[in-house]
Amino acid sequence: MSRYGWMLRGALTVLTVVSVSHAHAAITVTDDTGATVTLAAPAQRVISLAPHVTELVYAAGGGSKLVGAVSYSDYPPEAKQVPRVGDNKALDLERIVALKPDLIVVWRHGNAQRQLDRLRELHVPLFFSEPHRLDDVAVSLTKLGALMGTSGVADNAAADYRARIAGLRARYAARPPVSVFYQVWDQPLMTLNGAHIVSDVIALCGGRNVFAQLTPLAPTVSTEAVLAANPQAIVTASVGATKPDAPLPGLERWRAWPSLTAVARGNLFAIDGDLIDRASPRIVEGAKVLCEDLEGVRGRGF
pLDDT digits (tens, 9 = 90+) for 4-32: 343 344 444 444 434 443 445 899 999 99
- The torsion defined by the Cα of 119, 121, 122 and 128, in degrees rounded to 10, comes to 40
pLDDT in tens, 152-169: 999 999 999 999 999 999
| 3-state SS assignment for residue 283 | helix
The model's pLDDT over 65-106, given as tens digits with 9 standing for 90+, comes to 999 999 999 999 999 999 999 987 889 999 999 999 999 999
d(CA 129, CA 56): 10
> What's the average model confidence in pLDDT over 225-248?
78
pLDDT at 11: 40
Number of DSSP helices (H) and strands (E) in the chain, helices first: 11, 12
Give the DSSP H/E element, type plus range, for residue 299: helix 283-299
pLDDT tens, 132-157? 999 999 999 999 999 999 999 999 99
Mean pLDDT, the chain, integer: 90
CA atoms lying within 13 Å on the CB side of residue 114:
5
Q: How confident is the model at residue 241 (pLDDT cuts 50, 70, 90)?
A: very low
User: Domains plus CATH for the chain?
Assistant: 23-158 (3.40.50.1980), 173-299 (3.40.50.1980)
Euclidean distance between CA atoms 157 and 142, whole angstroms: 9
Residue 283's alpha-carbon distances to 24, 37, 50, in angstroms, are: 35, 26, 15
- The amino acid at 185: W
